[in-house]
Amino acid sequence: MIKRILAISFTVCAIWGCSNQSKITEKLNADSLAEDSVSTETMETDSMKMGDEHSAMNSLDWDGTYKGILPCADCEGIETTITLTDDQTYTMQTKYLGKSDAKYFDSKGKFNWDKAGQIITLEGIKDAPGKYFVGENTLTQLDMEGKRITGQLADKYILKK
């Protein structure tokens, strides 16, 4: 008899504790949503104040040298180094790894920013992607149409400063 009373008491306490826990969780979620809506409103207001002034071009320390190994369809990878200077010129050096006649290819020229100040286009690059998204200490190569590359290899198209 005592075992039954203890089992029933334990079950009642467990059920009561779980229902209180869900009420606490609901309260925390409601409070969190209220905080999120306030911070979202603040962020929207702040970004509206910035308008067109805030971009990679004027907010990031983008000039410097970026390196990485980009994917290659018929080789082990393309060792790539791009140096951007504040006078909007670039130098690029590439080497196709795993080729018996692997050598460095150099190109240089000017680059232009898009209207949003987020993407650069390397002038003089033909038959290869020449657009890069400028991020914090990174250049992300875009496809031939200037769109982000997606899929399993997407993170392989990033050059790091």
Query: Which amino acid appears at position 157 of this protein?
Result: Y
CATH code, domain carrying 149: 2.40.128.640
- Whether 71 and 85 map to the same domain: the answer is yes
pLDDT in tens, 25-76: 454 444 444 444 333 333 333 433 444 567 888 878 899 999 999 999 889 9
Query: How many CB atoms neighbour CB 24 within 10 A?
Result: 10
Give residue 78's domain range. 57-160
Is 81 within 8 Å of 70 (Cβ atoms)? no
- Whether 102 and 45 map to the same domain: the answer is no
- Whether 22 and 62 map to the same domain: the answer is no
The model's pTM is 0.65
- Whether 13 and 86 map to the same domain: the answer is no
Q: What would the mean pLDDT of 73-89 be, rounded to a whole number?
A: 95
The predicted pLDDT at position 7 comes to 55
Is 81 within 8 Å of 92 (Cβ atoms)? yes
